[in-house]
Amino acid sequence: MAFLQWRKFNFFDKETVKDPETNETFNQLKEVNVSACVSGGGQLIVSDYEGKIYFISRSLQVNSFAAYDIRVSHLYQLKQSLSNLLISVGEDEQGVNPLIKVWNLDKMEKGVPVCTRITRAIPANKPTPVTCVAAHENLNWMAVGFENGTVLLFKGDIKSDRHSKQSIVYEGKSAVTGLAFKSAGKNIILFVATESVILSINVSGKDKMQTTLDEFGCKRGCSVMSDMSQDNQFVIARDDALYFYQPDGRGPCLAFEGEKFQLHWFRNYLVIVGKDAKQFPKAPIIRAGQPIEQHMVTVYDIQNKFIAYSAPYPEVIDIISEWGSLYILTGDRKLFLLLEKDTQTKLEMLFKKNNYTLAISLAKSQQYDQEGLVDIFTQYGDHLYFKGDHDGAIDQYIKTIGKLEASYVIRKFLDAQRIHNLTKYLQALHTAKMATEEHTTLLLNCYTKLKDVSKLDEFIMTKDREIDFDKETAIRVCRQAGYYKHALFLANKHNLHEWYLKIQLDDIKDCGKALEYIGKLEFEEAENNVKRYGKILMAERPDETTELLKRLCSDFKPSDRPLVDAGDLEGGKGQQSTQRAPAEQFIHIFVNNSAKLTEFLEHMISLNSNSPSLLYNTLLELYLHDLTHQPKSEEKEAKQKKTIDLLRNPQANYDLDQALVLCQMNNFQLGILYLYEKARLYQQILRYHMDNDAYDLVIQTCNSFGMQDPHLWVQALSYFAKKENLKQQLGVVLHNIDKRNLLPPLLVIQTLAHSPTATLSVIKNYIIRKLQTENDQIAEDERLIKQYQEDTEKKRQQIEELKTTAKVFQNTKCSICNHPLELPSVHFLCEPHSFHQHCFENYAENENECPVCMPENRKIMDIIRAQEHGRDLHETFHNQLERAQDGFSVVADYFGRGVFNKVTLITDSPGRMSRSMSGK
Amino acid sequence: MSYAYLFKYIIIGDTGVGKSCLLLQFTDKRFQPVHDLTIGVEFGARMISIDGKQIKLQIWDTAGQESFRSITRSYYRGAAGALLVYDITRRDTFNHLTTWLEDARQHSNSNMVIMLIGNKSDLEARRDVKKEEGEAFAREHGLIFMETSAKTAANVEEAFINTAKEIYQKIQDGVFDINNEANGIKIGPQHSPSNPSMPSGGGNAGPSGNCC
């Protein structure tokens, strides 16, 4: 039976308790016949068979008082509850007459605690010795076990007699050896151990249900309640093993062999006092003539499965725990102190033995902080690494993630070329979200180096996986390593459009996919990316690209979206107008692919006739280019028609000048002519026809546009004049010139004179007609001159008359009132007119003018004045001169107005009043 | 956590065949290469689901050492299922199966479902017992057979769950008296035998057993 035990350590330091004052071994209990020991409330409590209870303080001051007249047999201290209560069982009278006393240790009177309750403990009037006592920490339950196998339960406040009910909950055949309370939810469970059976009783339930846990029992003192770490199981010790019990059944068992005397629970340790299984060869210590048995005190850590301390002591009376230490009272009345080592020391001991696993679980159970644990993991990792167990080491290092510098680990494994382990570590690093860019790079490099595509797949492609790495780095590394698929996946998943397209186009060269992808993007993204990659795409996939561009420039919607967004229908219309990209920005993409550009532009224009001029210009250019390079004539015609249609389209918003230049460059006559016409460049049209010697067209042009620009005719004239044998045309031209009076005949003659061909016969008619007209004009003018001369003569005579001859006023009637003239009267020389003076004074505006003639005179005076005034209006003159068909007549007109007169006109009217005041 | 049934298992077999590791793998999903000797009987539990029913497995992991045999025997009694484990790399552990089986049959209730487990299947290179031999033994004694690896976790889940399925089937067939806790089966707190959702096999237990 080798090593059928747990590992043994020495986690406790043994000290003999010494009196601090005398520095001698504590021996004040030397004469005490100890019956029971408990601890709590900062003191050790010992009772003896003489009825005394001793309190030992930390500084080893011993106080005692007589609690019973005869003896104290049992003590029970409530440790966790607030009130510091001590329950004792003893006897005041002879015979079997056990008495329970409850002491309140907080209230001392003259060094004696107040006794709050005295109760007789006699079940069913059958006196029997008490074997054990237990109380629940809530102070409402107390149980007493008896030698005859009876368990007496007290319910109600244990401090006082009054509200307490007692009942017998169990009657067995063998002595009760252990009692313990446990709270399980709302139920209060009482564990009962007798010498022959272990059972649990639900004392809070009405029927006090009993569950027999085992058919064998335990000795006195060999049962204890474990703590939370062991789920408050009831532990009993038997010679073959330790058994753990739940209220409903047996739990695990630990096969620690050997006879056991006492069981204690200290913190998370189980302390067993027993006989060493192995017989010591040492002779038993002889004291006072009596051999004292050697007992083995063993401290077990049940949770972590090791023995924390084990040492022999001479006849242990009891073990008490207080002030965080264990006190062992031995048969020779010595008090030993077991001090637990601090966790650090313990761990160091474990490290020395390379027992890291245990160190870790120990540290965990000691609520060791994270940093401390990481330290252990690191040491463990280092140890395993040193031993060459790289797999194990990395597992430990992974646990240090977040605390230990990752580079420490990485360097170790990089140096050792342990890429597998490194990969694992890096993966964990990523899962813990502690990875930096470099880590991601490194991990991906590891994958690629290992050629572990499946892992890479898992790392990158796993869907719905949280991203714990830097995406861009990952993409970059994947690209570099040639894992385009992965890079692509990442880019796609994380909407890194730029990356996606870069990879798709530069690395994979799958333009179709790229296009499809762009089509799914949001508008702005799509636009930008098309601008960036349009050329490549166009070169590879012209059709699809064109389609995409068409969509982009009309009303773009990501292709994987329903045509109509729900939001749009719900009245968000105003906000989200369809987005379209300006088509002109994409024209450059179509370099070298004019057919597609044409298609695109046509689509755009048909979609939106209001497109910018650049579109039309480009389209026109394309058409023209096509036209020039089109060898087949039939197609050429169709193209021509298309082109001209475009030009004629009133909505086509092309740039006129540019269009013209384009047409000229490509020698597209129809277009040129149309554009001339549109631009009102009639001269150009004419010149064009002239250059092409299209005589009929020249005439036709003159006819069509002569109204707008009469000079066309003149040009036509000089053009025809230079040509030979064009009498007919010349005639037409001359006729028109004549009709519109466009040129003075002299100029016509001059023009024709240069002509080598125009014979007199051509212009004979013209000249004759012209001369005839001139003659008529001259005759007319002469007639007018004559008439004016006569008028002038007449006026002169009149003036002379007025000046020289007397004027007889013969009027009999007043010119105003038509009544017979009476004196006083006023006469004017003009007609002559005569007026009554009073009439004259009433009507005349001034004395000098005849009221009858005055309006006429005024008119004349105004004309004269206006003429004089007009003299100074040079600008008007020039203006009129320029605009006038016949400048000469304007000059003549002004001349007539006396513009060039130096002498000012005499303002005195010829009808100057001569007033005669007849009768005066 | 509430459950419909609680099944008690026991794991038996020679020392060092990997009983504790199987349990650790099943309950904690981890593998400890260095495992201390089991002293006595240890305990583990896990919830599984069969037919949509939550079933709690309470597993007793016993020490394989001959010297603990008397202690471990006392645990046979309340078990509904047993995993009899041998090590495929050690023929002697296979040879001892008969003894173990006799022991189990003698101390347990007769209906106990026993599964034969050939553990350490990851150590194929060191294999000493052929799979066919295991199968033959199982056939001969009416056991379910499976090879597992506590290290790689291969078949570990299946071993425990298949045993549970077998027990569940036996309950359905009315073989087990579910009201006798000595059979290692316990009905969950909210499932009283009078519950109409009870499997038909529980009918023979009768409502009279409704004391617990």
The predicted complex's ipTM stands at: 0.82
Are A253 and B71 a contacting pair at CB < 8 A? yes
How big is the A-B interface in CB pairs under 8 Å? 41
Chain B residues within 8 A of A249 when measuring between CB atoms: 78
Chain B residues within 8 A of A185 when measuring between CB atoms: none
Kindly list the residues of chain B whose beta carbon comes within 8 Å of any beta carbon in chain A.
Answer: 32-34, 36-37, 39-43, 60, 63, 65, 67-68, 70-71, 75, 78
Mean pLDDT of A871-892: 72
pLDDT at B66: 84
For residue A607, the Cα-to-chain-centroid distance in whole angstroms is: 36
Residue A516, H or E segment: helix A511-520
pLDDT at A568: 41
Nearest by CB to residue B40, choosing from A1, A3, A253, is A253
Q: Find the radius of gyration of the CA atoms of chain B.
A: 17
Nearest by CB to residue B37, choosing from A4, A249, A256, is A4
pLDDT at A782: 93
Higher-scoring residue by pLDDT: A82, A327: A327
Evaluate if residue A447 carries a pLDDT over 90.
no
Chain B residues within 8 A of A305 when measuring between CB atoms: 36
HSE-CB of A445 using CA atoms within 13 angstroms: 10
Distance from C-alpha of A332 to C-alpha of A555, rounded to nearest angstrom: 103
| Average pLDDT score over chain B | 83
Nearest by CB to residue B65, choosing from A4, A251, A253, is A4
Residues facing residue A45 across a β-bridge: A38, A55
Q: Is the dihedral of CA A672, A677, A681, A683 positive or negative?
A: positive
Distance from C-alpha of A719 to C-alpha of A716, rounded to nearest angstrom: 5
Distance from C-alpha of A54 to C-alpha of A643, rounded to nearest angstrom: 124
Chain B residues within 8 A of A256 when measuring between CB atoms: 39-40
The proportion of chain A whose per-residue pLDDT surpasses 90, expressed as a percent, equals 2
Are A4 and B36 a contacting pair at CB < 8 A? no
Nearest by CB to residue A253, choosing from B33, B41, B78, is B41
Mean pLDDT of A566-571: 41
pTM recorded for the entire structure: 0.60
Are B39 and A255 a contacting pair at CB < 8 A? yes
| Average pLDDT score over chain A | 74
Query: A652 near A646, Cβ under 8 Å?
Result: yes
HSE-CB of A184 using CA atoms within 13 angstroms: 20
Chain B residues within 8 A of A240 when measuring between CB atoms: 70-71
- What single-letter amino acid sits at B36? D
Distance from C-alpha of A310 to C-alpha of A287, rounded to nearest angstrom: 23
Nearest by CB to residue B67, choosing from A4, A242, A253, is A4
Using alpha carbons, select from B125, B183, B45 the residue that is nearest to residue A251.
B45
Are B78 and A7 a contacting pair at CB < 8 A? no
Evaluate if residue A911 carries a pLDDT over 50.
no
Are A1 and B43 a contacting pair at CB < 8 A? no
Higher-scoring residue by pLDDT: B35, A562: B35
Query: A101 near A68, Cβ under 8 Å?
Result: yes
**Sequence-ordered strand ranges (E) for A498-586:** none
Higher-scoring residue by pLDDT: B53, A893: B53
Evaluate if residue B136 carries a pLDDT over 90.
yes
Are B37 and A3 a contacting pair at CB < 8 A? yes
Q: Is the dihedral of CA A615, A618, A621, A622 positive or negative?
A: negative
Token code pair at residue A31: 């004469």
Q: Does A906 touch chain B (CB under 8 A)?
A: no
Q: Does A749 touch chain B (CB under 8 A)?
A: no
pLDDT at A383: 77
Chain A residues within 8 A of B34 when measuring between CB atoms: 357
Evaluate if residue A790 carries a pLDDT over 90.
yes
Residues in chain A: 920
Chain A residues within 8 A of B70 when measuring between CB atoms: 240
Evaluate if residue A721 carries a pLDDT over 70.
no
CB atoms within 10 A of CB A162: 8
Chain B residues within 8 A of A302 when measuring between CB atoms: none
Token code pair at residue B19: 């009983």
pLDDT at A576: 41
Residue of B nearest to A209 (CA): B212
Distance from C-alpha of A861 to C-alpha of A845, rounded to nearest angstrom: 16
In this structure, of A351-365, A794-808, B170-184, the range with the lowest mean pLDDT score is: A351-365
**Helix orientation angle between A419-431 and A390-399, rounded to the nearest 10 degrees:** 20
Chain B residues within 8 A of A254 when measuring between CB atoms: 39-40
The angle subtended at Cα A147 by Cα A142 and Cα A153, nearest 5°, is: 20
Are B67 and A1 a contacting pair at CB < 8 A? yes
pLDDT tens sequence across A356-366: 777 777 777 77
Q: Does A242 touch chain B (CB under 8 A)?
A: yes
Distance from C-alpha of A569 to C-alpha of A577, rounded to nearest angstrom: 12
Q: Does A288 touch chain B (CB under 8 A)?
A: no
Mean pLDDT of B2-15: 89
pLDDT at B92: 92
**A362 Cα to chain B: minimum distance (Å):** 15
**A227 Cα to chain B: minimum distance (Å):** 17
Mean pLDDT of B142-156: 91
Chain B residues within 8 A of A242 when measuring between CB atoms: 40
Query: A133 near A76, Cβ under 8 Å?
Result: yes
Q: Does A5 touch chain B (CB under 8 A)?
A: yes
In this structure, of A12-16, A377-381, A640-644, B46-50, the range with the lowest mean pLDDT score is: A640-644
Distance from C-alpha of A238 to C-alpha of A182, rounded to nearest angstrom: 21
Higher-scoring residue by pLDDT: B154, A502: B154
Are A254 and B36 a contacting pair at CB < 8 A? no
Evaluate if residue B160 carries a pLDDT over 70.
yes
Nearest by CB to residue B40, choosing from A7, A252, A357, is A252
DSSP classification of residue A696? H
Q: What confidence category does residue B90 fall into, taking pLDDT thresholds of 50, 70 and 90? A: very high
Contacting residues for B91 by C-beta, under 8 A, at least 6 apart: B128, B129
DSSP classification of residue A631? -
pLDDT at A920: 32
Token code pair at residue A278: 């192995």
Chain B residues within 8 A of A5 when measuring between CB atoms: 39
pLDDT at B145: 92
Evaluate if residue A548 carries a pLDDT over 50.
yes
Are A241 and B78 a contacting pair at CB < 8 A? no
Higher-scoring residue by pLDDT: A211, A677: A211
Distance from C-alpha of A716 to C-alpha of A243, rounded to nearest angstrom: 133
pLDDT tens sequence across A625-643: 766 666 666 666 766 777 7
pLDDT at B2: 81
pLDDT at A281: 47
Higher-scoring residue by pLDDT: A47, A714: A47
Residue from A253, A304, A390 whose CB has the most chain B CBs within 10 Å, to mutate: A253
Chain B residues within 8 A of A399 when measuring between CB atoms: none
Chain A, window 374-393: residues with a beta carbon less than 8 angstroms from a chain B beta carbon: 392
Distance from C-alpha of A378 to C-alpha of A680, rounded to nearest angstrom: 93
Higher-scoring residue by pLDDT: A32, A435: A32
pLDDT at A778: 92
Are A251 and B67 a contacting pair at CB < 8 A? no
Residue A703, H or E segment: helix A695-705
The angle subtended at Cα A314 by Cα A309 and Cα A315, nearest 5°, is: 105
DSSP annotation string for A355-396: -HHHHHHHHHHTT--HHHHHHHHHHHHHHHHHHT-HHHHHHH
Q: What own/partner pairs with CB < 8 Å and gap ≥ 24 does A805-812 have?
A: A807/A832, A807/A914, A809/A834, A809/A916
Distance from C-alpha of B189 to C-alpha of B210, rounded to nearest angstrom: 12
Residue from B41, B67, B180 whose CB has the most chain A CBs within 10 Å, to mutate: B41
Query: A470 near A437, Cβ under 8 Å?
Result: yes
pLDDT at A592: 67
Provide φ and ψ at A50, rounded to 5°. Answer: -105, 5
